[in-house]
Structure 1
Amino acid sequence: MDKHNFLILIDRYLANESSPAEIRLLEEYYERMDRKGAEISFQEPDGIGVKAAIMQSIKQEPANERNPKVSYTRLWLGAAASILVIIGIARFIIHTPNPTKNQLNIPEVACSKVITPGGNKARLTLSDGSIVDLDHIADGIVAKQAGLTIKKDRDGQLIYTVVAGNQQPKNGQIHYNSIETPMGGQYQVRLPDGTVVWLNASSSLKYPAQFTGTERKVMLSGEAYFEVSKMKGRPFKVVTDKEVVEVYGTHFNVNAYEDEKVTRTTLLEGSVKVNHGNSSVLLKPGQQCGMENGAFQIKTVKLKGIIDWKNGYFLFKEDKIYEIMRKLSRWYNIDLEYVGKLDDLNFSGKISRTKNLNEVLKVLALTGDVKFKVEGRRVTVMP
């Protein structure tokens, strides 16, 4: 980020000429410096302390972060968990040799309505076919079946508890439940064995109300993060339409959306074995297995970007605009339309999943490479 350009933003702030979006940019940078222990205040009348602190912070950036291909977004929005960080911002500023005040205005996005983010929404289907709408039912016991109770807590978690003395179904029959999140929904389930599952938007999980036999098997469509309870001699298996993931007690993420070309299993802790037909591969922590066209592809990944959704934000790393918009479409429950050539657009950044859609799109539009039009729940993406 060019120092001169950044000081223009500060001067606009001190002159009470900043737009709301420009103020947010400065406040986010202030928060970052505050976490580093910098003593600054935007209330200083002459702005000297602000400029000095920011200049000092810029000088202290590691050399690789000052690389214009990587660093400029961090100087603007780097540690702001609530705002998207976009590599393309630098192209907008660096390629403008002498920017004027008007050139630093935040672009508007044509929106006919405010589209709010998703939340804890899901539908539970019991083994007898009855359906429980979890986002509208009160907290507490929602059902009792097959020697267990099913409870919804205030934090958006569904908890299965086996009643003492009822460890197995009396008739030996396996009773299956399923939980499904809509677009714009997420939910958390604690299964009878103590395994905790986080379901992302537009996902479903089918599982026995009680696990019996020598294995614990669930069926997944969409994306989920698992923290599997250890049970010696009783592996936990996640079945998708392309693979079977086998574990004994570990933390891992499975992305198996139908509209994604690749099914990805990522291991955070422990070990997992991914099976496809007669082939299998054993993963180590930090590894990701991609399944495409019946073949395994193993690579090492940064785990924060894998479970970003579980932790309440989106994290993009040189992702294509199509990948980004698919993630946004699931969380904001929107339909997408593309106009023109967009294949070469890649973005990196971070944004809170609590932000309204128009806030996300405004910052994406800062690059100058992409524009958006929102009509109802349809978003048109244009170069």
Structure 2
Amino acid sequence: MTTEEIKQILERYNTGQCTELEKTIIEETLMQFNEDQPGLSEKKLEKLGNEIYRNLPGSDGKSRRIKLLSIITAVASVSLIGIITLLFYPRPNTSSIENKSTFNITPGGNKATLTLANGKTINLSAAKTGIIIDDNNIKYIDSTAITNRSGNAPGMATISTPKGGEYQIVLSDGTKVWLNAATTLQFSANLMRERGERKVRLERGEAYFEVYKDKKRPFVVETGQQDVLVLGTHFNIDTYEPGSIKTTLLEGSVRVQSNVHTSKTKSKILVPGEQSVNKAGAIEVRKVNTNIELAWKKGKIQFVRADLKTVMGMISRWYDIQVVYQYYPVEGKFTGSISRSKNISEVLNLLETTGDVRFKIKERQVLVMK
């Protein structure tokens, strides 16, 4: 396969016109690559090729396997025309990011505030990863006490993460919730179980739920313009984009029900691998790559064919920075993956490898320039 043929595949990929085979080859190769080991050895290429080949439908011949490997090899050696080839580029030895050494910004971490039903506010420990709620007290996941029964009074409590923060909470029924940056979750100590259902409210942000199974008491997540009803399952809710709520299902099933009056569909049942998008009460369902949708929970910043504002939105939330656009590549689409443990200069340096943009760090501002 020639370089020109590979370019044509990548152009179709950028515009959403490539075949499912081509899409699988490119995305799965990119997403499986370990960003801490930028070199692609022959052994690594063969391993990736074998993994992709096994997952493709209708794999029935040595010649097809060879063709897949040749495509992967070519993809790894060609500039990816408008998408970030973070995972195949060698890391630059130097950075063009201005003021890197002076204003480098460290990644987010365990940060959250707990506001109890009685109004008391607790800044949760950055040395801990999460808290456990039960009927008698609130404690950290390692069993260190936070409050006694008096602090766990009836009523709604709130846990909030700031930009650059994440935290986990285990609710009184055993349901686990992971909160991404800039997220607020309201809950009661007993989850209002006396009403025949368990209910929490996601005020803003993004959260991943592993719901404890209880057939007698459905679990409900309120999010302003919709309710998600489940018995026991794993799913993610993302409310970052104004006017839009994305619900992604990993296991089990959920019913997504709109609270907004509209003539369009107000209720959908999701199966694993599906995502509902609720805009102004109208719900649409699509198939998604759950590994990409849930990358944040696995400690990665990951994006596929995303515009720069989407990518910078992820970065601004996790590094708690303001993005100022002095230039914007309108046609640019970006694909890549990097650990959320990296300093911001490393992330921006990878974005600069496209040659489309460059950055300047000024205190807690990142300027986007040409």
Change (3 A) 1:345 1:126: same
C-alpha separation between the residues in 2 aligned to 1:255 and 1:335? 21
- Number of residue pairs matched? 307
SS across alignment from 2:349:
helix
Higher helix fraction: Structure 1 or Structure 2? 2
Shift of 1:298: 0.9
SS across alignment from 1:305:
helix
Which residue matches 2:207? 224
Deviations 1:216-267 (A, max 9, x none): 110102100000000112111111122111111000000012x445210000
In structure 2, the gaps of 5 or more residues are 4-33, 49-65
Residue 87 in structure 1 maps to residue 69 in structure 2:
no
Shift of 1:367: 0.5
What pairs up with 1:28-177 in 2 under 5 angstroms?
Answer: 28-29=38-39, 33=43, 62-66=69-73, 68=75, 71-72=76-77, 87-89=83-85, 107-111=95-99, 112-135=102-125, 147-153=135-141, 174-177=154-157
Shift of 1:340: 2.6
Residue 348 in structure 1 maps to residue 335 in structure 2:
yes
Across the aligned residues of Structure 1 and Structure 2, the Cα RMSD in angstroms comes to 3.8
Residues 160 and 191 in structure 1, CA contact (< 8 A), matched pair in contact too: no
Deviations 1:48-68 (A, max 9, x none): xxxxxxxxxxx8863443565
Which residue matches 1:187? 167
C-alpha separation between the residues in 2 aligned to 1:140 and 1:290? 30
SS across alignment from 2:214:
coil
Shift of 1:27: 4.5
Residue 375 in structure 1 maps to residue 362 in structure 2:
yes
TM-score (norm 2): 0.73
Change (3 A) 1:142 1:352: closer
SS across alignment from 2:297:
coil
Q: Which moved more, 1:29-38 or 1:335-344?
A: 29-38
Letter aligned with residue 192 of structure 1: S
C-alpha separation between the residues in 1 aligned to 2:279 and 2:176? 28
C-alpha separation between the residues in 1 aligned to 2:308 and 2:348? 11
Shift of 1:380: 0.9
Letter aligned with residue 238 of structure 1: V
C-alpha separation between the residues in 2 aligned to 1:304 and 1:255? 15
TM-score (norm 1): 0.70
Residues 131 and 169 in structure 2, CA contact (< 8 A), matched pair in contact too: no
Letter aligned with residue 253 of structure 2: S
SS across alignment from 1:110:
coil
C-alpha separation between the residues in 1 aligned to 2:257 and 2:145? 29
Residue 291 in structure 1 maps to residue 278 in structure 2:
yes
Residues 234 and 252 in structure 2, CA contact (< 8 A), matched pair in contact too: yes
Which residue matches 1:18? none
SS across alignment from 2:38:
helix
In structure 1, the gaps of 5 or more residues are 4-23, 39-58, 77-85, 94-103, 164-168
C-alpha separation between the residues in 2 aligned to 1:323 and 1:271? 28
SS across alignment from 2:313:
helix
Greater radius of gyration (CA): 1
C-alpha separation between the residues in 2 aligned to 1:377 and 1:251? 35
The percent of aligned pairs where both chains have the same amino acid is 37
C-alpha separation between the residues in 1 aligned to 2:307 and 2:282? 23
C-alpha separation between the residues in 2 aligned to 1:249 and 1:27? 38
Letter aligned with residue 366 of structure 1: T
